[in-house]
Each structure stands twice: as structure tokens, then as C-alpha cells.
A and B are shown apart, each in its own frame.
Chain A
Amino acid sequence: MAQNKPRTLFDKVWDSHVVERLPDGTCVLYIDRHLVHEVTSPQAFEGLRAAGRGVRRPDATLAVVDHNIPTSDRSQGIAEEESRIQVETLERNVAAFGVPYIPVLDARQGIVHIVGPEQGASLPGMTIVCGDSHTSTHGALGALAFGIGTSEVEHVLATQTLLQKPAKNMSVRVDGTLPPGCTAKDIVLAIIGRIGTAGGNGHVIEFGGEAIRALDMAGRMTVCNMSIEAGARAGLIAPDETTFDYVRGRPFAPQGEAFDRAVAYWRTLPSDPGAIYDTTVTLNAADIAPMVTWGTSPEAVLPITGTVPNPDDEPDAAKRAQIARMVEYMGLTPGQKLSELAVDVVFVGSCTNGRIEDIRAVAQLVQGRRVAPGVRAMVVPGSGLVKLQAEQEGLDRILREAGFEWREAGCSMCLGMNPDKLTPGQRCASTSNRNFEGRQGPGGRTHLLSPAMAAAAAVTGHLTDVRELV
């Protein structure tokens, strides 16, 4: 490979982590950070034991529990037996293999993708993996971060590497300025609506353009988090002053003079002028409106001003059947206005939108308002530290007074693996990332949207254009 050829951010991070390139192009890729949680790791540690192997780099590994744990008081332990066993298994494994672990009752506990950046464990230019598809979140720092299966978790624990072939480069540029009432979530939902859930397959997406550069780190993480929902292996945003300011001073980040040397390196990472992308997509931020999904795939998304599609308008038979199935599952009527859909539950949280900025946006909108009668509304901070910060700012009081539940950190209702679940037929306005059938509980109906839009739905009792309330 010619060194003078202009390279993308992805190319640079990839190249600097290639330990060895095999004749067929497969690379032994070095992994800088491995984040571990309770659901996808037990079988990996079991595999290590069976083969008599250890963890190669405990100091490059960080474990935390998030998927399984209840978001109510945890001081008395976990009531649900299978969940408790999974958490206890992780605790036994990290002790046996010497892996750094943030315990359940530690203030730093939280969703692995909130905790990594928050602790400075995730840094620009790194390769970061985790047995969870939303590892793409960490790409917001300019790291190559992607989800892996349990066999690969075991592979990284044992070797600190993965066998991988390079992905293709995709550029998604969002030009211009985002209109009022629109957020990072609306940007990424609009992107998925444009390219589809398989649009990024085989690619790493680099997000750029004025509207992306203008986002704070929380917004950038929201965008990269949902790259996987567009099928991409990872999402990336070039590190800049916003990134460096975010990283500075975090516990596991380099400190003092070491930080300056790190920044000098990180400044070399952005794509070179003239770097070639295999695929390029451009959106105009001015065209983006507050978005909401209507179906059971993240690509089934429309502006809140839209109406439920009619399957009969679709010429392709397979797609027609799919739309009809989604309309039926979601309990919708073709032609119905999205803003007329009454919600039973409002969920604010998840690795997509569980950061302090998200909670501030909700509190700002609901201040002086009340959750509509009959609606269950909950806010689940992404980490214990996010919760503490919100409490210091008095946001929990605003939310409680408005009628929201204020809960402990965890994955919660994003995926129905803990007690927070929808019941069959319940309709939920959710700031999470997936609206698949049964994702939030069997028979549950999920509408994905931004924190501000979720807050608007909570106070009106139906999906609502947030621009009407501000």
C-alpha cells in the first residue's frame, strides 16, 4: 500500500492496528479496548477455561453489568434467578481472570457504551470491541468500534486481536444547519430512512458535514450508535476540538503532558483531502424534520407530520407483504396521522439517548407540564454518574414532579431482558435504537424518536410534533 495515497480516517485507524496481513487479505487486527458485559461473555470465559487460556491484556479490558439488571433499587440483589446467575457468573469470571470490573453498586456502573467514553476508556484512534452491536457508539470519538459475537469475545480475551478483512468506506455528509426542534437522533433516523437497514452492509460509515461537526459529543454518540441500524460495521466521526475537550481529564484518559502527546497524534487521524470513499451519501440538514418510526424496522421512519403508509401503494409484492405485516403488528390504519397515535409508555434512556444532555432536553420540555393521564413515563440514566449529575442539576425533581419515574442505570426497556418490559399491545415512544417485533417485550409496539419528541409524547399522551410545544 502506497503511504502517499490519501487515506480515510478508517484506513488510518485500520492500518495502524494491523499486526499481520495474511496472503488472502485477512488481517490480524490488534484491539486496544475490550468492553465486556454479562450477557455475551459467560460462554467466552468458559471457552478460555476449557482450553486452559488466560486473558492476554486485562489492562485493556473493562467489564460492567448493564443488560440484565433491574433499574429499581439493587441494594437487595437481583430477584430474577437467571439474571442473577448471569451477573454472578460475570463477577466470578472477572475475579478469576483479573479483569477490571465496575460493580453493580458502584456509581460508575451503567450501560457499557455510556461508561466507556465517560471513563475515558474509549479514546480517539483506538480499536474498540464489545459483544454488543451498539459498540459503534464509541466511533463518535474517532475510534474504530464495532460489535462482535461471543466467539470473537473469547478470541480477543485470548489474543487481544481479531481476524478481520477491511470494510469499505462510506461517507455520509450532512450539510447545513439543523432546524429548531431537530436533534442528532433525527439526523440518524433520516439517514437510515434514506439508505435503509442494509444500506451500510460491508461498510464503515464516516459521518461528516457541517451539521455533524456542530453536534456535541452526546449527539455524535447518538449518530454513531445507530450506524449498526443502517447495517454498517461501524460509524466514525473525525476527532476535533469538541472531542479533545470531551476526553480531557477523564479517569482513564492520558493526563497532563501525555494528553498533549495524545492530541498531537489524534490530530493526524482525520481523512486526508482527496481520500476516496466507495460510497457517498449527502443529506441537507435543512430538509430534516423531527422523525418517528412507524414500523418494526428502523428504516420504517417518517417525519412526525407523515401518515401511516398504505401497503397497496407498494408495487413490489414482497415489500407490500412486509409493510402490511408491520402495519398489522403495530396496530395501525393506513393513512392515519402519526401525530394521532396515543402512547401507553414513554421510555427515555439506552445507549442511544441515556446521556445527561438527553435528560436535560426532556426536563427542559416537561418543566411546568404534567405527564398525560394513563401514560407511564420513565427516565433511565445511562450510568450512575449521569444519574448523579442530573440530581445535582435538580433534573430528577423536575421529572418526578411532572410524573416521570426516575430509575437506576441500565439497559432497561431498550431490550426487555430485565423487569422493564412492555406488555402485549402497549405502544411506546422510545428513545432507544430498535423497534423490532417484541424488542421491548413480546407484542410491544415501539416508536423510535428523540428525547425531546419522547417528552412531547409524554405530556400530550400521543406522538406529537415537538415544534408545537417549544
Chain B
Amino acid sequence: MDAFTTLTAIAAPLPMANVDTDKIIPARFLKTIKRTGLGVNLFDTLRYDADGSERPDFVLNQEPYRRAQILIAHENFGCGSSREHAPWALLDFGIRCVIAPDFADIFHNNTFKNGILPIRLPREVCDLLMQDARLGENARLTIDLEAQVIVRPNGESIRFEIDPFRKHLLLNGLDDIGQTLQHAPAIDSYEARQRQEKSWQPGITI
């Protein structure tokens, strides 16, 4: 996983609430056995007509937002399924940061595992940042994770909150499994205790 430190990039405004994971990446594209290559189908039904041609009115089909690395949306972004294909598709397109008033829990969890920073900010602040984003090329946002600020094109800083443990993992690009395996002795002793206390609990064999 790539570390996330600072990012200065074009932000795309997507003023929609309840952007569900079927919208981010429809189920028919989940048949891959890889993590990469999903960017072309990101927001497939919003982005393309039935014949596969681009819909000019969709933000990611417009310049300069084809090169956006930040996405700003409304409430409950990422609701629906647990498919990690949703953050994979965002990442493959180039998105490293999503800003919204709130996120669905599983999606929120999944973004961190892929080096994408989800930032929760009040609706009115998201709307303000969307106004910045609409200025396009000359209105890049800077995200500074260490300092926990977004710097607007006018130089103003907006602070955001993030879980310290997740911040640490993102800043250093650390693999969760490696972290957890440091607790292997504790897992061993937990399992030993459970075998005693819940000796009635059978294992599965087919």
C-alpha cells in the first residue's frame, strides 16, 4: 500500500448523496480476480451511455476532472455492499482522497486499506470545497495528513479529524496484517483459553 502524506490535486465535485457501491462499480465488473484495471469502469452507468460512449455531462468526463485525485460528495458515500472493488476502482482511476459529510462504515474501512484517505467534514464545508473544485485547473486543493488540514486555493486551512491509529498506518503505508501479527502471542493464548471455555464449539470439516 502506498503511503499517504500530502496531496495537491484537482478535486472533482460530485454533489450526490447516497452514492452506493453499485454506482461506484456495478456488480458485473466484480468478476475480476485482480485488484487493478477497474478504473475504466468507475461510475460506469453515470459515466457512459448504453453504447459505451462518454456522457459529457458527467464530471469525470470533463477537463480537468479526468485527472482528479480528490472527490467531493454528499452524505452517506459508499453505502451498500462490502465490495472492495469500489475503492480499487477509485484508486485505479487515480482518486486518493474522498471528502464527504459521512461515509458508510464498510466502505470507510476499505478505503484505508488501500491508501485512500476518507475525510469527514460538515455538509456546508463540503459545499464550500465543491465551489473551489468547480474552479478547476487553477483551484487545486492540498491535503496535508500529518497536519490534518486541507488548504483551499485561497490559502485558507480547514482542519479535519482522523483516527490516530489509521493516520499512523496511512502516513507510513503500513500493512494491517503485519501490525496484527505483532500480537500473535496474544492470539495464541486467546485461542488456548477458548478451547477450554468453549470446548462445546466444534470446528468445520467437510
Which residues of A approach B to under 8 Å, CB–CB?
19-20, 22, 24, 26, 28, 30, 32, 39-40, 42-43, 46, 51, 53, 59-62, 67-68, 82-83, 85-86, 89, 100-102, 121, 123, 131-133, 135, 146-152, 154-155, 158-161, 163, 165, 197-198, 201-202, 231, 233, 252-255, 258-259, 261-262, 265, 297, 318-319, 322, 415-417, 424, 434, 436-439, 442-443
Q: In the bound complex, do residue B74 and residue A318 qualify as a contact, i.e. CB atoms below 8 Å apart?
A: yes
Interface with A: B62-70, B146-154, B182-190, which one?
B182-190
Q: In the bound complex, do residue A151 and residue B202 qualify as a contact, i.e. CB atoms below 8 Å apart?
A: no
A315, B82: Cα distance in complex, Å: 33
Q: In the bound complex, do residue B183 and residue A19 qualify as a contact, i.e. CB atoms below 8 Å apart?
A: yes
Partner of A100, one of B30, B110, B201, B206: B206
Answer whether A24 and B164 are a contact pair too, CB < 8 Å, given A19-B190, A198-B79, A436-B20: yes
A53, B34: Cα distance in complex, Å: 18
Of the A-B pairs whose beta carbons lie under 8 Å apart in the complex, a sample of 10, sorted by A's number, is A24-B163, A102-B206, A149-B113, A159-B177, A161-B183, A254-B201, A261-B200, A297-B20, A318-B74, A434-B22
Partner of B113, one of A101, A151, A438, A442: A151
Partner of A133, one of B74, B106, B180, B205: B106
In the complex, B75 has a CB within 8 A of chain A? yes
Q: In the bound complex, do residue A262 and residue B200 qualify as a contact, i.e. CB atoms below 8 Å apart?
A: yes
Q: Which residues of A contact B176 (CB under 8 A)?
A: 151, 155, 163
Q: Which residues of A contact B30 (CB under 8 A)?
A: 39-40, 67, 417
Partner of B102, one of A131, A151, A201, A297: A201
Answer whether A201 and B74 are a contact pair too, CB < 8 Å, given A262-B200, A442-B50: no
Query: How close is B116's CB to chain A, nearest CB, in angstroms?
Result: 12
Answer whether A231 and B79 are a contact pair too, CB < 8 Å, given A51-B177, A101-B206, A161-B187: yes
Q: Which residues of B contact A59 (CB under 8 A)?
A: 203-205
Q: In the bound complex, do residue B102 and residue A26 qualify as a contact, i.e. CB atoms below 8 Å apart?
A: no
Q: In the bound complex, do residue A318 and residue B17 qualify as a contact, i.e. CB atoms below 8 Å apart?
A: yes
Q: In the bound complex, do residue A40 and residue B83 qualify as a contact, i.e. CB atoms below 8 Å apart?
A: yes
Query: How close is A25's CB to chain B, nearest CB, in angstroms?
Result: 9
Q: A254 — nearest CB in chain B belongs to which residue?
A: B200
Q: In the bound complex, do residue B31 and residue A158 qualify as a contact, i.e. CB atoms below 8 Å apart?
A: no
Tally A-B pairs: CB < 8 A.
196
Q: In the bound complex, do residue B83 and residue A161 qualify as a contact, i.e. CB atoms below 8 Å apart?
A: no
A24, B162: Cα distance in complex, Å: 12
Q: In the bound complex, do residue A438 and residue B81 qualify as a contact, i.e. CB atoms below 8 Å apart?
A: no
Chain B positions 140-193 with a Cβ under 8 Å from a chain A Cβ: 163-165, 176-177, 179-181, 183-184, 186-187, 190-191
Q: Which residues of A contact B20 (CB under 8 A)?
A: 297, 434, 436
Q: In the bound complex, do residue B165 and residue A24 qualify as a contact, i.e. CB atoms below 8 Å apart?
A: yes
Answer whether A149 and B109 are a contact pair too, CB < 8 Å, given A60-B204, A155-B176: yes
Query: How close is A229's CB to chain B, nearest CB, in angstroms?
Result: 8
Interface size of B by CB at 8 A reads 60
Q: In the bound complex, do residue A198 and residue B74 qualify as a contact, i.e. CB atoms below 8 Å apart?
A: no
A89, B32: Cα distance in complex, Å: 11
Q: In the bound complex, do residue B183 and residue A20 qualify as a contact, i.e. CB atoms below 8 Å apart?
A: yes
A426, B30: Cα distance in complex, Å: 23
A95, B168: Cα distance in complex, Å: 37
Q: In the bound complex, do residue A121 and residue B109 qualify as a contact, i.e. CB atoms below 8 Å apart?
A: no
Q: Which residues of A contact B17 (CB under 8 A)?
A: 318-319, 322
Partner of B45, one of A28, A46, A438: A438
Q: In the bound complex, do residue B104 and residue A22 qualify as a contact, i.e. CB atoms below 8 Å apart?
A: no
Q: In the bound complex, do residue A198 and residue B202 qualify as a contact, i.e. CB atoms below 8 Å apart?
A: no
In the complex, B3 has a CB within 8 A of chain A? no
Contact with A along B12-31 (1 / 0, CB 8 A): 00011110101100111011
Q: In the bound complex, do residue A149 and residue B183 qualify as a contact, i.e. CB atoms below 8 Å apart?
A: no
Answer whether A28 and B186 are a contact pair too, CB < 8 Å, given A151-B176, A438-B22: yes
Q: Which residues of A contact B163 (CB under 8 A)?
A: 24, 26, 165
Q: B189 — nearest CB in chain A belongs to which residue?
A: A19
Partner of B75, one of A53, A82, A198: A198
In the complex, B94 has a CB within 8 A of chain A? no
In the complex, B76 has a CB within 8 A of chain A? yes
Q: A51 — nearest CB in chain B belongs to which residue?
A: B177
Q: In the bound complex, do residue A152 and residue B113 qualify as a contact, i.e. CB atoms below 8 Å apart?
A: yes
A40, B86: Cα distance in complex, Å: 12
Q: In the bound complex, do residue B80 and residue A148 qualify as a contact, i.e. CB atoms below 8 Å apart?
A: no
Q: B111 — nearest CB in chain A belongs to which residue?
A: A149
Q: In the bound complex, do residue B205 and residue A19 qualify as a contact, i.e. CB atoms below 8 Å apart?
A: no
Partner of B33, one of A30, A85, A197: A85
Q: In the bound complex, do residue A262 and residue B82 qualify as a contact, i.e. CB atoms below 8 Å apart?
A: no
Q: Which residues of A contact B206 (CB under 8 A)?
A: 62, 100-102
Query: How close is B95's CB to chain A, nearest CB, in angstroms?
Result: 16
If A30-B190, A198-B102 are given as contacts, then 13 extra A-B residue pairs at C-beta distance below 8 Å, sorted by A number, are A20-B183, A20-B186, A28-B180, A39-B30, A43-B84, A68-B31, A158-B180, A159-B177, A254-B201, A261-B200, A297-B20, A417-B30, A436-B23
